[in-house]
Chains A and B, each alone.
Chain A
Amino acid sequence: MSAKGDETTVIVVDDDRATRTLILEILKNEPYRVEVFSSQEAAAEFHRKSGCSAVIYAVSILDESAAAFLDMFRRIDSIVPVIIPGFLDYSAHGELVEHFSADGEVVLVSKPIMPQKFLECVREAIERYRKSHLQIKHYSSVVNDIRAASRMQALLLPDWIVCNNDLFLSSLYEPMYGIGGDLYNLIELGGRRYLIFIGDVAGHGISAAMQMSVVMGWSKTIIEQAADPDNLLPELFNRLNAYFCTEFDHRGYMTCLAVLADCEKETLDYISAGHMGLFRYDEREHRIDYRDPGMKGGIPIGWFQEFEYTAEDVIHETFDRDCRYFSMTDGVMDTCDINSNKMSREEFVKLLVESNVDISQGQIPYLLAECIEEAGYTETSDDVSIISFGRRDSTSAAVKLSAAYTVDMANSKTFSEELHRALKGAGVDEFKLLEIELASVEFFNNIIMHGFATRPRIRPKIMVSVALENGRVEVTFLDRARKFEIELPKPEEGGGFDDFLMDAEAGRGLQLIANLSDGFFRKNYHGLNVSKLYFDLQKGGK
């Protein structure tokens, strides 16, 4: 489509020697390379291979073949100007005139050709094409820059699952334009204290992303320099407010929810600057409620330089070990259905509770997104971010292991050993334990080898949890590998697979999983694969 090379080329298509002579004479002093063709197809082929900046279609009689020529050229290049000298009477050539007019880049020049006027037409057309071309090149460059920036911004944000000894944070990030102003982070403060925050820098695209990047860096610096650790949250917001008002000169602002989680004291302190509060999901009662910050805080960061966040704006709660907490940027609640209806907060909570999904560790952001989508709210107009966090020391005795592993075959061993230790500690029979270990390790390996085989491994994680309840072991895998299907073969009679073992080139792993497990579940929730292997401890070893 573009004019190749540095030379400006003009294609002339004509069938009349006199016209050709005139046009060549007009163009002789211009710095153009002029290529002349009597065949339309040859002209088109030349442009396909070499390109040009303008086409002069100087055929003696204008008829349907002119329209056909234009269509043929447009299949190669949608914007190269086509200059058509000719006499067109609208009453006689109405369709042709309309066809040319609709094109947008056809220049009709009346005959007889006036040299100076014709030359000006050609020069203007070439200049217009040059500018369009530059715009297209610039646009491609911007698109490439956004793609690169998007990858880099993803690296600034935490992994979709972060696990440490005290708590976990899972997250979902979907910027509207590839990059955006949403941000969230988990920062370890020491002494089993953690800062979790989620925020939304106003605006979209590169500008919001740049401010987001600055805030991610600033927040760490502010925390390191904090004068009073007991007053960290208001100090964080006040200093961010000062930065936004002075450095960004009121051109940007941000809503934010910051949470100070103290796993030693089992407390949650949080402050909101115009941001949605916390939702709390109680695992015991399968109930979700919304912790409304009310009027506390309330003012977005960057609105008023004089505004001061104080300790009065901080809300205090117990950090319940059997609750999962989540929050989101307003892009989620701004998502509409096809009739432009949004959900209210009450409808949102009702939707989740009635979805009856198993809202366990790590899955909340993805289950939420899936529920919202399935309920028909699919029209997004903003960046969407959802975070969920909770304590790892759940009072549920059922969970024996909960850990996140970096995708690396070396971690297959770590997982295997931790699984073995967890179930041995829970009193599972050694033989059965080995069956569970074998099948689970096979599945873990399958995720790495097949799910992540063709994806770049930039800090991907697999989260595994193992629960033992009512004589059944449930091993749950969460991963963001590609959505590959797993179809387990039928379990072989007798459990062993000696002939298969000897002859198979591949697939022993899946057969092993099929033979050793008592059930299998796998589903993708908005990009998160949730897989479960079930093992019935009542059944004898195979």
Chain B
Amino acid sequence: MEIKHEMIDDVLVIRLMTDRVDAENSEILKSQYRRLAAQAPKVAMDLQELEFLDSTGLGVIVFCLRFSQENGGLLKLANLSTKVRMIFEITRAYRVFDIFDDLGTAVKSFAV
């Protein structure tokens, strides 16, 4: 799984360059997030490439959220595809995440 990251303003933007987060590759995201977000209180995750995630994949995104929260930070999600939005709706995961239509809005929301 390729993960790209950059700073936009003071927000760490993490881009998942994969169409799938599941039992096969979720550990990679977990370990990378630990490393990248440890010193970043504001994190926006760009899920534009993502088309599917199973329960393990969802569990890892939840892990990322909790990791940030426990370190006094925040994680917000952006650019969910139609299919991933539906998955979040089916699992009601939309209730626990802040989700934005685009990355710019997600980044700006940290300033509010």
* B59 contacts A by Cβ under 8 Å: yes
* B residues near A412, Cβ cutoff 8 Å: 22-24, 54
Is residue B20 contacting chain A, with contact meaning CB distance below 8 A? yes
The answer to whether A497 touches B90, judged by C-beta atoms less than 8 angstroms apart, is no
Partner-binding segment picked from A91-99, A112-120, A433-441: A433-441
Question: Could you mark each residue 488-527 of chain A with 1 if its beta carbon is under 8 Å from any beta carbon of chain B, else 0?
Answer: 0000001111100110100011011000100000000000
Which chain B residue shows the least CB distance to A444?
A: B54
A15 at interface (Cβ–Cβ under 8 A)?
no
Bits for B82-102, please: 1 = Cβ < 8 Å to A, else 0: 010011001111011000000
Given contacts A498-B95, A501-B58, contact A435 B66 (CB under 8 A): no
B110 within 8 A of A: no
Structural contact, B58 and A508, CB atoms closer than 8 A: yes
Q: How many Å from the CB of A115 to the closest CB on chain B?
A: 77
- Chain A residues with CB under 8 A of B24: 409-410, 412-413
- Write the nearest CB–CB distance from B48 to chain A, whole angstroms: 19
Considering the chains assembled together, what is the distance between the CA atoms of A236 and B96 in angstroms?
A: 67
Closest to B88 in A: A496
B39 at the interface (CB under 8 A from A): no
The answer, yes or no, to whether A531 is at the interface (CB within 8 Å) is no
Residue in A413, A430, A502, A512 whose CB lies within 8 Å of B20: A413
B contact face: mostly helix, strand, loop, or mixed: helix
Task: Find out whether the CB atom of B54 lies under 8 angstroms from the CB atom of A434.
Answer: no
In Å, the complex CA distance between A412 and B55 comes to 13
Say if the beta carbon of B40 comes within 8 Å of chain A: no
Contact partners of B56 in chain A: CB under 8 A: 445, 508-509
Measured CA separation A449–B56 after assembly (Å): 12
Beta-carbon contact of A501 and B96 below 8 Å: yes
How many chain A residues sit at the interface, stated as a range, is: 20 to 34
Which A residues touch B92, using CB under 8 A?
A: 494-498, 501
Cβ-closest chain A residue relative to B84: A434
A464 to chain B, nearest CB (A): 16
Residue in A430, A434, A497 whose Cβ sees the most chain B Cβ within 10 Å: A434
Q: In the docked arrangement, what's the CA distance between A449 and B22, Å?
A: 13
Q: How many whole Å from B81's CB to the nearest CB in chain A?
A: 12
Which A418-454 residues sit within 8 Å CB-CB of chain B? 430-431, 434-435, 437-438, 441-442, 445, 449
Contact B23 A449 (CB under 8 A): yes
A263 to B56, CA, bound (A): 42
Q: CA separation between A430 and B85, bound complex, in Å?
A: 12
State the CA gap A501–B23 with chains docked (Å). Answer: 16
State whether A416 touches B52 (Cβ < 8 A).
Answer: yes
A442 near B90 with CB under 8 A, answer: no
Candidates A445, A494, A496, A541; contact of B54 at CB < 8 Å? A445
Is A542 in contact with chain B by the CB < 8 A criterion? yes
Q: Which residues of A contact B95 (CB under 8 A)?
A: 496, 498
- Look across to chain A and name the residue whose beta carbon is closest to the beta carbon of B25: A409
Chain B residues with CB below 8 A from A497, complex form: 91-92
**Binary interface encoding of chain B residues 58-72 relative to chain A, with 1 for a CB under 8 A from any of its CBs, else 0:** 110010001000000
The A interface, classified by DSSP as helix, strand, loop or mixed, is helix
Roughly how many angstroms separate A509 CA and B95 CA in the complex, as a whole number? 18
Q: Which residues of A contact B23 (CB under 8 A)?
A: 409, 412, 445, 449
Contact B91 A501 (CB under 8 A): yes
In the complex, which residues of chain B have a beta carbon less than 8 angstroms from the beta carbon of A502? 62, 66, 96
Q: Are B86 and A512 in contact (CB under 8 A)?
A: no
A-chain residues with CB within 8 Å of residue B90 when the two chains form the complex = 431, 434-435, 438, 495-496, 516, 541-542
Cβ B55 vs Cβ A442 within 8 A:
yes
Bound Cα distance from A431 to B88, whole angstroms: 11
Contacts of A508 in B (CB 8 A): 55-56, 58-59
Contacting pair B55 A509 (CB below 8 A): yes
Known: A445-B56, A509-B54. A434 touches B96 (CB 8 A): no
Chain A's nearest CB lies how many Å from the CB of B55?
Answer: 4
In whole angstroms, how far apart are the Cα atoms of A205 and B100 in the complex? 68
Q: Residue on B with the closest CB to A504? A: B59
- With both beta carbons as reference points, the residue of chain A lying nearest to B65 in the complex is identified as A502
A306, chain B: closest CB distance, angstroms: 60
Residues on A with C-beta less than 8 A from B62 are 501-502
A494 and B83 alpha carbons, distance in the complex (Å): 20
Nearest Cβ on chain A to B90's Cβ, whole angstroms: 6
New contact pairs (13) apart from A412-B54, A496-B90, A501-B62, CB-CB < 8 Å: A409-B23, A412-B22, A413-B24, A431-B90, A435-B90, A494-B92, A495-B90, A497-B91, A498-B92, A501-B96, A508-B55, A508-B59, A541-B90
21 A-B interface contacts by CB (under 8 A): A409-B23, A409-B24, A431-B86, A438-B87, A438-B90, A441-B54, A442-B54, A442-B55, A445-B22, A445-B23, A496-B90, A498-B92, A498-B96, A501-B62, A501-B93, A502-B66, A504-B59, A508-B59, A509-B55, A512-B55, A512-B91
Closest 7 A/B residue pairs (Cβ)? A496-B92, A508-B55, A509-B55, A409-B24, A498-B95, A498-B92, A434-B86
